[in-house]
Amino acid sequence: MITQDDLIALVRNYNPRCDEHLIREAWDYGAQMHEGQLRHSGEPYFTHPVAVAALLTEMQLDDATLITALLHDTIEDTKSTYGEVARLFGAEIAELVDGVTKLTNLQLSSSEAKQAENIRKLLIAMSRDLRVILVKLADRLHNMRTIRSMRAEKQAQKARETMDIYAPLAGRMGMQWMREELEDLSFRVLNPEARNSILRRFITLQREAGDVVHRISADIRTELDRAAIDADVYGRAKKPYSIWRKMQEKDLAFSRLSDIYGFRIIADSTEDCYRILCVVHQRWRAVPGRFKDYISQPKSNGYRSLHTTVSGRDGKRVEIQIRTREMHEVAEAGVAAHWAYRDGRRSENPFAVDPVKWISTLTEGFDSADDHDAFLEHVKLEMYSDQVFCFSPKGDVIQLPRGATPLDFAYAIHTRIGDGCVSAKVDGLRVPLWTRLRNGQSVEIITAEGQRPQSSWIEIVVTGRAKSAIRKALRDEDRERFVRLGNELLRLAFEATGRELSAKALGTAAKLLNLPDAAELRARVGSAELSARSVVAALYPETAQTAPEVDSATPVVGLEADVDFRRAPCCQPLPGERIIGITYRGKGVVAHAMDCEVLANYEEQPERWVDLRWVDGTHPAVYGVSLDLTISNDAGVLGRVCSLIGEHKANISDLRFVDRKPDFYRLLVEVELRGISHLHQVMTALEAETAVARVIRSQDPALRP
């Protein structure tokens, strides 16, 4: 562990005017609070906050961020409180420490619904003060560097969480070096064999070809000297995970990968950047389609650079990035460059972005994602997006993720343009709406009155904004139809009880059923989420009739006397589902769910079909259904799952494990239920349980009657 004086020296190197006294006080307070605590490795716990603070000095961050790093676990893991931190170090630092504590408590690798809500909280914390996530990223980086001391299953969980959330977030913030290291550290945990294989190939390659990086760097410097351009040249082999991802994306073997080396040229001015580009392209042949100008079209996080790929020595592809020193500072620190200090003053880098504006571009449209699936999809698209730049007919530049289509372009301009899109022209030629756009293309959108979004568009677009707008338009269109249908169903239900359907009655019913208004009530009834009979019963309880108990010996209507009946094992139909009977010689009638795949085998035998329906009323909980569950391998989880099923008045008749892994179990649970609504209740409760990663109804067409 570095000493207190070492940390102060690291800070004073870039900020001689730092509040040395306050940093020392934070060190002493943190050491006191964590005294006696140990990490999994056996080291004193305080070595971790110190390492996080040291990492942040590499980004030349302000005193408040460094002090937050020293104290970031005090409120969570010690007897320290928010009030005490605020009294000793001020409200700003207390807010930052509290923000990091809340992020630490988020379970980003939980079930999708929980994960979506927690990522939403993470983004809200970022929008309040981005320094919270900078401390959290440094915290995660140090934990990943020292992850070997954790249990294997915990390593895998943290590595997946890092790969899915923190690494792409670091990349989106412009801290590419941190993204690459987080990915590679996660890769080492999740797929050590693949990583070791790539490292072995690198060693073999170096032994056979020598120091390629040194030779190519020397070639570039020679060409720059001839052109009298002063610039620094750096080269390196790409990280193992970066190579592995490219192998997977392009389905190539290592021997066929060419651009596994990257070079960076740091120039004095923007003019020199373009001069260097000319020198490189005159000396080596440029690879078509691999040039990107992020200087004239910077990324939203402030990143500026020229990217090109050329064929170097022996035909090997070489990736080269060219930028100025100020651009390089932003490329290394990303959004964090806003807080960077140099010589005791806030660094005035013209390329650093305003964090408030940046976070608004990241979260734009997130609030419109109504369900957790859409939200997660939107987040991950935004996190992982690389960019293409296209032009409108007026010359405006539209920034889109790679793989975007003319429909994405239309919605990027305006939702109204997207909704009314009927076709598009790219570079003057009419193209299908699913065409993938490329850098520099000119796009013209053609609209028509009365055009409405199609459900197939969801599969065409890639941007979260477009997907969200299309889903909303489709919902609105369905909603109008459901409102009309619901109104008619309610009218009939009210007439059947001799009551009058009125706006006031529906408004009152909506309040009783905790719905926002009468329109939502009509829509729920029209979409079959709510029955018209239950609305009448809510207003007039005296009209409600208790459903009769159903005899399990005769649960269906449509059977002839003395004919045996049983449920098909392939689809296990439940009361409340539409069913069809198939006659079997010596077996009576077997009921299948209407959508059962097995029914297709009897299409040419209509004489065997029997029209059946379940008897109305309350059925006993005797109908078995198989549930396929994936649960985390932690103490007490199986017991909680079984208790949860029991709490919903369902009986477990059988349970068997299908797969056992260090971090999860997959099992089949046979549950006895009353009907389809009972099944939905049980599955909803299980999906809400944090330790349940997945629950589906298991149906097997191979199980013939």
Phi and psi dihedrals of 34, rounded to 5?
A: -90, 5
Based on the domain organization, do 170 and 236 belong to the same domain? no
Annotated active-site residue in 43, 77, 112, 687: 77
Phi–psi pair at 112, nearest 5 degrees? -60, -45
Both 216 and 335 in one domain: the answer is: yes
Exposure string for 545-572, b = 16+ CB within 10 A, e = fewer: eeeeebeeeebbebbeeeeebebbbbbb
77 is an active site residue: yes
- Residue-number span of the structural domain to which 323 is assigned: 202-346
- Residue where one domain finishes, among candidates 190, 212, 237: 190
User: How many domains does the chain contain in total?
Assistant: 5
Helix (H, G, I), strand (E, B) or coil at 328: helix
Shared domain check, 83 and 137: yes
Residues 25, 162 within the same domain: yes
Residue 70: phi and psi, rounded to 5, are -65, -30
The total number of residues written for the chain in this structure = 705
Spell out the alpha helix ranges (H) of 449-575. Answer: 457-460, 464-496, 503-512, 518-526, 532-539
Cα 165 off chain centre by: 7
Task: Report if residue 58 sits inside a domain.
Answer: yes
User: 239 and 320: one domain?
Assistant: yes
Q: Is the same domain home to 19 and 108? A: yes
Please answer whether residues 345 and 112 qualify as being in contact, where contact means their C-beta atoms are separated by less than 8 angstroms.
no
Active site residue 19: no
Domain with residue 276: its CATH number is 3.30.460.10
Is 122 a member of any domain? Answer: yes
* Residues ≥6 apart with Cβ < 8 Å to 188: 195
Residues 503 and 573 both lie in one domain: no
pLDDT of 306 reads 94
- Residue 111 is predicted with a pLDDT of 47
d(CA 16, CA 10): 10
484 assigned to some structural domain: yes
Nearest to 629 by CA among 668, 671, 662: 668
Residue for token digits 């078509």? Answer: 288
Q: What stretches of 58-166 show up as alpha helix (H) in DSSP?
A: 63-71, 74-77, 82-89, 91-104, 112-128, 131-145, 152-161
Residues in the chain where the model's pLDDT stays below 70: 105-128, 206, 208-210, 248-259, 312-315, 336-387, 528, 542-548
Does 361 fall in a domain?
Answer: no
Dihedral of CA atoms 126, 132, 138, 142 in degrees, nearest 10, equals -110
Quick one: 186 and 102 in the same domain? yes
Question: Could you tell me if 176 and 236 lie in one domain?
Answer: no
CA nearest 61: which of 332, 300, 299, 360? 332
Name beta bridge partners: 567: 591
Strands 613-614 vs 664-673: parallel, antiparallel or unpaired: unpaired
CATH number, domain containing residue 81:
1.10.3210.10
- The answer to whether residues 108 and 229 belong to one domain is no
Last residue of a domain, one of 346, 378, 411: 346
CB-hemisphere CA count at 13 Å for 403?
11
For position 351, what pLDDT does the model report?
A: 64
Summarised one tens digit per residue, pLDDT across range 605-663 is: 888 888 888 887 788 889 999 999 999 888 888 888 888 898 888 999 999 988 888 77
301, 386 Cβ separation under 8 angstroms: no
The two tokens of residue 527 are 């979409």
Q: Is residue 358 part of a domain?
A: no
pLDDT, tens digit (0-9, with 9 covering 90-100), for 425-445: 998 899 889 898 887 788 999
CA angle at 622 for the pair 616 and 628, rounded to the nearest 5°: 110
Residue 399: exposed, middle, or buried by beta-carbon count in 10 A (0-12, 13-18, 19+)?
A: middle
CA dihedral 525, 681, 369, 691 (to 10 degrees): 180
- Do 610 and 627 belong together in one domain? no
pLDDT the model gives residue 368:
47
Q: Is residue 259 part of a domain?
A: yes
Phi, psi of 307 (to 5 degrees): -115, 130
What would the two tokens of residue 63 be? 């005193």
Alpha carbon distance 276, 554 (integer Å): 86
Element (H, E) at 679: helix 676-688
CA-wise closest residue to 650 among 622, 611, 691 = 622
Domain annotation covers residue 453: no
Q: Are residues 51 and 180 in the same domain?
A: yes
Does residue 404 lie within any of the structural domains?
Answer: no
Task: Report the C-alpha gap between 324 and 316 in whole angstroms.
Answer: 26
pTM: 0.55
Boundary (domain end) residue, out of 328, 346, 364: 346
Give the pLDDT confidence score for residue 229 in this predicted structure: 93
- The set of residues, in sequence order, having a beta carbon less than 8 Å from that of 676 and lying 6+ positions away, is 574, 575, 576, 577
Task: Please identify which of the residues 20, 58, 76, 687 carries the catalytic annotation.
Answer: 76
Residue 202 and residue 236 in contact, taking contact as beta carbons nearer than 8 Å: no
Question: Domain of 633: which CATH number?
Answer: 3.30.70.260
